[in-house]
Homo-oligomer: A and B are copies of this chain.
């Protein structure tokens, strides 16, 4: 394998995914991942800030998409519905990646460190949402709460979507979960 094979980053992700799921996250060293991808350990750390991040590369794009979707939502809607609309709009893109998402989620669920990283990504998502809401003149703490609610609902819906073998629509599950949210907080 030559020094300049294309898509170094993608190869690292794939190698990590394979090793993490076969022998476990803890039992995999960065050196092994790099070797499998035909690169050096040093290069791994040029592409990813740490050993976990290799599984969370897509998070920032997702966040940007989400914020864009929120910015484009109808002006008249109440905060919580704006969040719902934005999430449902983005969720459509997940349908093709059901298998990948499942593989990745299995690895994350098995390891505490990875779960931590996942949580912080979702937290960052929530705070980006809250920012975007404030830009729409939603006041505090409504903005934070609406954003936080939205992410919680997303987690619940995503988990359900992952569990389902027959791949139902993520946007559809989302819509149902938002309905649930309203029922719950109404105190029923």
Please give the distance in Å from A59's CB to the nearest CB on chain B: 14
> A158-188: which have CB < 8 Å to B?
160, 177, 180-188
- From B80, B149, B156, A144 is in contact (CB under 8 Å) with B156
- From B78, B117, B141, B153, A116 is in contact (CB under 8 Å) with B117
Q: A141-B156, A145-B180, A182-B186 are in contact. List 11 more A-B contacts (CB 8 A).
A: A78-B188, A80-B184, A112-B120, A115-B120, A142-B180, A144-B152, A145-B152, A145-B185, A148-B156, A149-B185, A152-B152
Say yes or no: A142 contacts B184, CB within 8 Å: yes
Residues of A within 8 A of B (CB): 78-81, 112, 115-117, 119-120, 123, 141-142, 144-146, 148-149, 152-153, 155-156, 160, 177, 180-188
In the assembled complex, which residues on chain B have CB atoms less than 8 Å from the CB atom of A184?
A: 79-80, 142, 145-146, 149
Name the CB-closest residue of B to A115: B120
Alpha-carbon separation in the docked complex, A119 to B181 (Å): 22
- From B79, B145, B187, A153 is in contact (CB under 8 Å) with B145
Name the CB-closest residue of B to A148: B152
